[in-house]
Structure 1
Amino acid sequence: MNWCSRRELCVSDMRMRLKKLEVDDNSIKKIIAKLIEENFINEERFVRAFVNDKLKFQKWGIDKIKNALYIKKITTELIKEVISEIDKNQYITQLSEIAKQKVKYIKASSDFEREQKLLRFLASKGVSGEDAYKVLKNIKKLD
């Protein structure tokens, strides 16, 4: 319970931690059931906190967040529900700010090369192609 009180955890994270401590599978199921019952583990609360933190602090794109949640075995429905609540305009604005900072440090011989490098950077952040082009268009408007 101490782990759960420090930060949000999902079921798969807790299962992994318990397996590292060499707890048997039957006990793991009982422990996780008790933690869910006592509301120490709540998948929806975890997903909301995870999405918020990755967007605001680590500046991840939606695709990268989705993939990380799939790896943690979060249900597709819950992922879609929480992702759909993201304000797209604010998201694009935030990405545009990051991209503007990045453009200052990109060395390129042409505008085309600079745009390609910026698109690759955004892709590495987990930004979809559609959103990356919106960001590119947004940056061009600001110049």
Structure 2
Amino acid sequence: MQKKIFTFPQAVQKLEYYCSYQERCHNEVVDKLKTLAMSSQEIDEVIAHLIQNNFLNEERFACSFARGKHNIKHWGKVRIINELKFRNITKYNIEKALKEIPQETYLHNFHALTEKHWESIRETNLNKKKKKFCDFLLRKGFESSLIFEKLKDLEITD
């Protein structure tokens, strides 16, 4: 089966649609263009067009990503930062994105998640239960200081 060859206007149209239904970072757009067998010069031109016409905005992507991952998947700041770095988002945009999550919302979601998870762990050995609890929250990307502070609170109430 032969790969379909796209003309420049077709590729632009396809990528405009690709960027319009979901925020994208530059890496995702470049990867998509590579699957369309575009040359590096054409890739640069398409990206320039997308930026000029506000289809592609890395700051907007970072803010949307941070809000969504925290509110929907309940990720902590550490995981959000690492995921954004993985996507080559600048330090400035990462800092701006983290400001999208109000501290009181962050802490409220953290406490709600921790209490729900603590109750859901069916481990009788307290040390194993603590380890499972900490591992889960570290994977979610919450700060270790927050986790250990919450663990102390939960131990006192148990």
2:10 matched to which residue of 1?
none
Structure 1 alignment gaps of length 5 or more: none
Q: Is the 8 A contact 1:96 1:138 kept in 2?
A: no
1:6 matched to which residue of 2?
21
* Separation (CA, whole Å) in 1 of partners of 2:64 and 2:107: 20
* Change beyond 3 A, Cα 1:71–1:122: same
Is 1:49 matched up with 2:47?
no
Deviations 1:59-98 (A, max 9, x none): 1111111111111110012102321453223212212211
TM-score, L = length of structure 2: 0.81
2:118 matched to which residue of 1?
103
Is 1:29 matched up with 2:54?
no
CA RMSD across the alignment: 1.9
TM-score, L = length of structure 1: 0.89
**Seq. identity, %:** 29
Higher relative contact order (CA 8 A, sep 6+): 1
Give the partner amino acid of 2:108: T
Structure 2 alignment gaps of length 5 or more: 1-15
**How many residues end up aligned between the 2 structures?**
143
Greater mean deviation of Cα atoms: 115-124 or 75-84: 75-84
Q: Which of 72, 82, 87 is the aligned partner of 1:67?
A: 82
Question: Which structure has the larger Rg?
Answer: 2
